[in-house]
Chain A
């Protein structure tokens, strides 16, 4: 028996999966981010050359993706904190969809400003 899609098309299940996958992606990214900032130990010029390398369009596009992941992970986490600490509320599917949309908009604004 193979796993079926079944109930896994529900928006709230998808929200939970996006939350987990975005967290995993951010966890993988974070050491690289810290290493990049750590280049300043070798002097300002070293950090500067990295920043200029990161001006390339594909890097900037990836940064937009990271902004999306960070925003969506935070909003998804807030969803969990609300479910766990406050009274039950309806309308969660709409809020989850809205959270994804807000994250996309924030990432889009980032991309518009850098390009």
Chain B
């Protein structure tokens, strides 16, 4: 095994290029360790994002050898078999600089999908009893652990091909709220995900489900939205 890794990092913005660095190999090294080494010991002008370093915040997502992943949870030994790594910013988002992207469209689409809870009671009403084992709550719980890391959005080819497409994360959050019995805004939410760029644009490539670091299944959540919106449309509850 070579003592050094050959690491290509994206430098610049959209019109940038890959630059190659030599990084010493260490045991149990993660890709985030590699990027950090370059910034601390070789080139302090490298820009990248991270926070927790332990796989709970989602800030360190980058494209590693062609796949979007959390760099703090990607062991170099698993991805750099031949001693080479290529690390770029997440796809489908505008590059600000080097490995940092502009996440604003990702969060904008969250709002457009109405991925926001709309209360149906006030503090003066009795607390609504929600059974944790009801089918709706189970469906919501299975999809709720999204931490907005953007990996699914970066992986999705429909996002790549269709600027209007709201994307797997926004639609997954909409699905959890559609299943939330306390929510008061479901008709409007189903309407929001039924326009162009809504859930029906999904082609079930399943890249999102394959790559989600939280092992969520946006394809299944979106399929659920397709069923609910189709039923609502056929009943005349939503219009196109």
Q: A and B: direct contact (Cβ < 8 Å)?
A: yes
Interface positions of A (Cβ within 8 A of B): 1, 3-8, 10, 12-13, 16, 20, 79-80, 83-85, 88, 92
List residues of chain A with CB within 8 A of the CB of B63. Answer: 4, 6
Is there an interface contact between B223 and A16, defined as CB atoms closer than 8 Å?
no
Is there an interface contact between B204 and A80, defined as CB atoms closer than 8 Å?
yes
Report how far A8 CA is from B67 CA in the complex, Å.
Answer: 9
9 extra interface residue pairs, beta carbon distance < 8 Å, beyond A1-B10, A6-B155? A6-B66, A13-B206, A16-B203, A16-B204, A83-B219, A83-B220, A85-B227, A88-B220, A92-B206
A13 to chain B, nearest CB (A): 5
Number of residue pairs A-B, CB distance < 8 angstroms: 54
3 closest A-B pairs by beta carbon, nearest first, are A6-B66, A4-B66, A88-B220
Is there an interface contact between A84 and B226, defined as CB atoms closer than 8 Å?
yes
Contact size class for B?
A: 20 to 34
Is there an interface contact between B204 and A84, defined as CB atoms closer than 8 Å?
yes
List residues of chain A with CB within 8 A of the CB of B204. Answer: 12, 16, 79-80, 83-84
List residues of chain B with CB within 8 A of the CB of A79. Answer: 204
Interface centre among A1, A5, A12 (most CB of B within 10 A): A1
List residues of chain A with CB within 8 A of the CB of B227. Answer: 84-85
List residues of chain A with CB within 8 A of the CB of B88. Answer: 1
Is there an interface contact between B91 and A1, defined as CB atoms closer than 8 Å?
yes
Report how far A16 CA is from B205 CA in the complex, Å.
Answer: 6
**In chain B, residues 220-234, which have Cβ atoms closer than 8 Å to a Cβ of chain A?**
220, 223, 226-227
Is there an interface contact between A6 and B65, defined as CB atoms closer than 8 Å?
yes
Report how far A12 CA is from B66 CA in the complex, Å.
Answer: 17
Report how far A1 CA is from B155 CA in the complex, Å.
Answer: 14
List residues of chain B with CB within 8 A of the CB of A88. Answer: 217, 220, 223
